[in-house]
Amino acid sequence: MNRFQILDWDSEFFGIPVAQILPAKLSVGELDQVISRLKKEKVKLAYWASNPNDEESQRGAQLFHGFLADKKVTFVIEINQIYQQPNTFDWVIEEYSDILPCTDLENLAIQAGICSRFKRDFRIPERKFVDLYLLWIRNSVNRQMADAVLVAHLSGNIVGMVTVAEKNGRGCIGLLAVNEYMQGKNLGVALVRAVQDWARGRGLMSAQVVTQGENIAACNLYKKCGYRIERIEYFYHFWI
C-alpha cells in the first residue's frame, strides 16, 4: 500500500516537491518509514490529515516535529429538516455573473483564508497564501472550483460572498466572508441560508462546509445555523 502521494499541482504552485500522507492513522514506526521515503523522494513539504482520536498517530506527529497547521472541522446539515425562512434583511443576495472577480471579491477571498493552514504556517510565504486565495476566487467565478458564487450587495458594494459547489450529493460551501464593517449583522447567516436555498433548488438533501477549528467565528456561525460536526481532522505539515 502506497502511504503517500506526490501532489503535482501543489509542487508547481509552491515551487518545491509537496506530498500528501494518505492513511489517517499510522503507528510511530509506520510514520517513520513514510518520512524516510519522502526524504528519498526529495519531498520538502508533506501534508497529513490525521485522526485526532488515534493517540499513536498524534504521538508520532509530535515525535517527528509535525506542525499542527489546522484542526479541520466538517459541518453538515440536512436540508429537508430546515424551515425555509424568508430574507428579511436589508441587502440582496444574488449570483455573481462576471467572468472575473472584482476587487471586493478578491479582498473577501483573502479574508476568508485568514485562519487557513497556509496562512498559519510561517514557512509558507505570505505572497503564496494571498496568491492561493486569489486563484481560488478566480477559479470559483469561472466555475472551475464552484458552481456558483453568491454575493451580498449594499449601497452598490459587495459586502459578503460565498462560493458553493455540488459534491457527492451535497451543497458544499468553499469560501465565505463578510466585510469587517458588516460583521455582527447576521449577514453570515443570510449567506448560509442562500446556500441552503441554492442546494434545495437543485434537489440536494444536505449541505456541508469544511472550516478551521481555529476560526471560532465561522464555527459559531455554522452551529448557529443548525449545522452539526460530522468529523474533525488534524492537519499536520511536515517540513523535510
- Which residues 6+ apart lie within 8 Å of 143 measured at CB? none
CA gap 217, 201 in Å, rounded: 28
Tell whether the model's pLDDT for residue 42 goes beyond 80: yes
Instruction: Look up cell 476566487; give the residue.
Output: 137
pLDDT in tens, 171-208: 999 999 999 888 888 899 999 999 999 999 999 999 99
| Alpha-carbon dihedral sign for residues 139, 140, 146, 148 | negative
Tell whether the model's pLDDT for residue 87 goes beyond 60: no
In terms of Cβ atoms closer than 10 Å to its own Cβ (0-12, 13-18, 19+), residue 81 is exposed
CA gap 25, 15 in Å, rounded: 28
CA gap 56, 28 in Å, rounded: 6
CA gap 13, 225 in Å, rounded: 35
pLDDT in tens, 97-156: 999 999 999 999 999 999 999 999 999 999 999 999 999 999 999 999 999 999 999 888
Tell whether the model's pLDDT for residue 229 goes beyond 80: yes
Write the CA distances from 150 to 64, 101, 115, 120, integer angstroms: 42, 12, 21, 27
Q: Residue 137: what pLDDT?
A: 98
Domains of the chain: 4-65 (no CATH), 76-232 (3.40.630.30)
Contact predicate 234/55, CB 8 Å: no
**What is the β-pairing status of strands 170-178 and 206-212?**
parallel
Contact predicate 167/209, CB 8 Å: no
Q: How many CB atoms lie within 10 A of CB 106?
A: 17
Give DSSP secondary structure letters for 110-170.
HHHTTTSHHHH-TTS-HHHHHHHHHHHHHHHHTTSS-SEEEEEEETTEEEEEEEEEEETTE
Q: Residue 80: what pLDDT?
A: 77
Q: Residue 181: what pLDDT?
A: 85
